[in-house]
A = this chain, B = another copy of it.
Amino acid sequence: MRKRNAFRPKTEEEVVFLETLKSEHLRLPAGADIIHPEQNGAELYTVFSGWAFRYKELPDGRRQILSIALPGDLLGLQASLFEKALYGAIALTDVELCLIPRRKLWSIFERMPAFAYDLTWLAAQSEAILDENLLTVGRRSAAERIASLFAGLFKRAEALGLVHDRTLVFPLTQQHVADALGLSLVHTNKTMARLKSLGLFALADGKLTIDNPRAMARFAQHFEKELSPRPIL
C-alpha cells in the first residue's frame, strides 16, 4: 500500500481518464484569478507548471495568503466539494493547470479508487502545510517566519527539481511575503534586509539563493521531516 505511488496508472479507465485530462489543459497569465472568492461551483485543478497562491481576505482589505501552490499541488478541492469557494486563488507566474471536472469527482471515487486515494493523500498533505503555516504565523518571530517560509518553499522546490545551483526562481514580492506571514510590508522589508546581511540568503532579480539550507532551517526553528514520495497528478 505504501508504494502505491509507484504503479499508479493501471486501470484501462484510468489511462483513458488521464488522457482526457491532458486535453483539458489551460493556461493563465501571471496575476490571473484562478478561483474567485465566493465563486460558485469552482473546478478542481492541479498545477502543472508555475506558481499560485490561495488567500482569504477581510471586508476591510486585510489579506492573508494561506498557502503557495507549486507544480503538482491541487487547487480547489474545497471549492469543488462544497458549493462555494471559501477562498481565492491567483496565479503568481504564468501557469498551466490541468482541469479535473467537478462533476466527475464522484465517479472517480466510484471507479478509480487509486486516483481517489491520491486525491485524499494530497489533501492531507496540504493540510500538513497549513498546520506548519499556522505554527509559523502564530508562534514564530518575524525573522523566524521569513526564514521558515523561505526554507519551506526552498525544500519543496528542490524536491521538484526547481533548484539549480542553490538558486530558485522566486516570484513572490515582499508584499506577498508579508501577506503570507501576517506581517506589515515595511517590517517585512526591514527584517528581510537584516537576514540578508546575516548572509542567510540572497534575493535579487526574482531569484532566491540559499547557500546553507541547514543553517536557514535551524534559524527558523523549522524542523520538518523529509517529504515522502508523492502521488503525481
Contact with B along A56-82 (1 / 0, CB 8 A): 111110111010000000000110011
Copies of this protein in the complex: 2
Which residues 114-164 of A have a CB within 8 angstroms of B? 114, 116-117, 119-121, 123-128, 130-135, 137-140
Q: Does A109 interact with chain B (Cβ within 8 Å)?
A: yes
> Interface on chain A toward B: helix, strand, loop, or mixed SS?
helix
Which residues 44-62 of A have a CB within 8 angstroms of B? 54, 56-60, 62
Which residues 84-122 of A have a CB within 8 angstroms of B? 84, 86-87, 103, 105-106, 109-110, 113-114, 116-117, 119-121
- The chain B residue sitting closest to A113, CB to CB, is B109
Q: Which listed segment binds B: A17-25, A203-211, A220-228?
A: A220-228
Chain A interface size, under 10 / 10 to 19 / 20 to 34 / 35 or more: 35 or more
CB distance from A77 to the nearest CB of B (A): 5
Q: Does A83 interact with chain B (Cβ within 8 Å)?
A: yes
Which residues 179-216 of A have a CB within 8 angstroms of B? 181-182
B62, B103, B135, B224: the one within 8 Å of A58 (CB): B135
Q: Does A6 interact with chain B (Cβ within 8 Å)?
A: no
Q: How far is the CA of A172 from the CA of B165 in the complex (A)?
A: 49
Q: How far is the CA of A138 from the CA of B65 in the complex (A)?
A: 9
Tell me which residues across on chain B come within 8 A of A60, comparing CB atoms: 221
Contact B1 A106 (CB under 8 A): yes
CB distance from A109 to the nearest CB of B (A): 4
Contact B1 A78 (CB under 8 A): no
Tell me which residues across on chain B come within 8 A of A87, comparing CB atoms: 131
Tell me which residues across on chain B come within 8 A of A119, comparing CB atoms: 120
- The chain B residue sitting closest to A62, CB to CB, is B139
Contact B59 A132 (CB under 8 A): no
- The chain B residue sitting closest to A60, CB to CB, is B221
User: Chain A: residues with CB nearer than 8 A to chain B?
Assistant: 1, 4, 54, 56-60, 62-64, 66, 77-78, 81-84, 86-87, 103, 105-106, 109-110, 113-114, 116-117, 119-121, 123-128, 130-135, 137-140, 181-182, 221, 223-225, 228
